[in-house]
Amino acid sequence: MSPKVEKSDALRKAATVVVSLGVETASEVFKYLHEDEIEKLTTAIATMPALSADVVEATMEEFYNLCLAQTYVTEGGMEYARAILEKSLGVAAATAILNKIAKALQVKAFDFIYKVDPKQLLVILQNEHPQTIALILSYCSPDQAAAILSELPRDVQIDVVERVAKMDSTSPEIIRDVEKLIERKLLMSESVDMTEIGGKKFIATVLNSTDRGTEKFIMEELSKKDPALSEEIRNCMFVFEDIALLDPIDIQKLLQNIDINDLTIALKGASKEIAEAFYENMSVRMRETVEEETKYLRGVRLSDVEDRQQKIVNIARKLADAGEIHIVRGRKDDIIV
């Protein structure tokens, strides 16, 4: 069974257990979960098909045995738990249960980072080597990484992005060394197996979460330094300029969901190509109105233009996530300056 299928099966079982516990008990369980865990579990519960009594019973029995085994491990350790479980459940069942517990006990590297405020992390990381920053950002949530990346010096931003994008896997020794460094500052430590981290998709998610100005600067500078890497990252992203690549029906759907004033300001700093992509999918009356307002719009700050463009991009991403439009990620031509 692949890790993806195994994870999906575990989520389904967790959802089954929560539903079986009842509303009051389930609400107590949710208090001990992270926000992302609650979101995944809630989605699984909401989309759960009708389950047979046999499936529910088997899942609850497995859950009960895991809880029982965890109690034995806590009381006397793994060998004590194994001896008791083998007598009551048999060797095969005992081994399967204990393997699940052992896997659950393996702590992910830098797990404590999810509880640390980005501002606190920034204070710790701002004077570290770019490679150290890149490694730690690879374990942050996209929102945390975006917040930290946006506050780093411009030259460091490019260096860190390049290192994260090219990162594949890191040895346990190196990660432990970095964790010891963070331990001295946060008084926490973790251990890790060889783990795949960072990568182009991760840094693309981070850049999608940064403000428009930071995103544009990094991509433009990175394209000068490493055009091939820049294009690979861009192929994982969706930015304002990519709206020109959408199908007409998707652009029309987007127009139905955005404020006309936001669009007017956003187009003030847009290329002719992206402006035409919008205009061609408007009614004649709407196009005349927007073109007229854009033409006479004066004194607009670049930050305001970038904010409105980012707002429209966020709406497009939400529509895509909801399956209402299909977005094309990346561009075949150069980055628009």
Closest among 224, 201, 227 to 145, alpha carbons compared: 201
Structural domains in the chain (count): 3
- Final residue of a domain: which of 180, 215, 231? 231
For residues 9 and 91, state if they share a domain: yes
Tens of pLDDT, residue by residue over 247-301, are 999 999 999 999 988 888 888 878 888 889 999 999 998 888 888 888 777 777 8
Mean pLDDT of 151-173: 81
Sign of CA dihedral 189, 193, 194, 198: negative
Residues 81 and 98 in one domain: yes
What is the secondary structure of 207-223 as a DSSP string? HHHS-HHHHHHHHHHHH
Res 249: pLDDT: 93
Provide the domain limits for residue 9: 3-105
pLDDT band at 115 (very low <50, low <70, confident <90, very high): low
Percent of the chain topping pLDDT 90: 6
Q: How confident is the model at residue 107 (pLDDT cuts 50, 70, 90)?
A: very low
Is residue 156 assigned to a domain? yes
- Does residue 113 register a pLDDT over 70? no
Question: What is the overall mean pLDDT for the chain?
Answer: 77
Checking DSSP bridges between strand 169-170 and strand 195-196, what pairing results, if any? antiparallel
CA-to-CA distance for 252 and 238, rounded, in angstroms?
Answer: 18
Indicate whether 146 and 218 sit together in one domain. yes
One domain for residues 289 and 189: no
pLDDT of residue 122: 77
pTM, rounded to two decimals: 0.38
Q: Mean pLDDT across the stretch 87-103?
A: 79
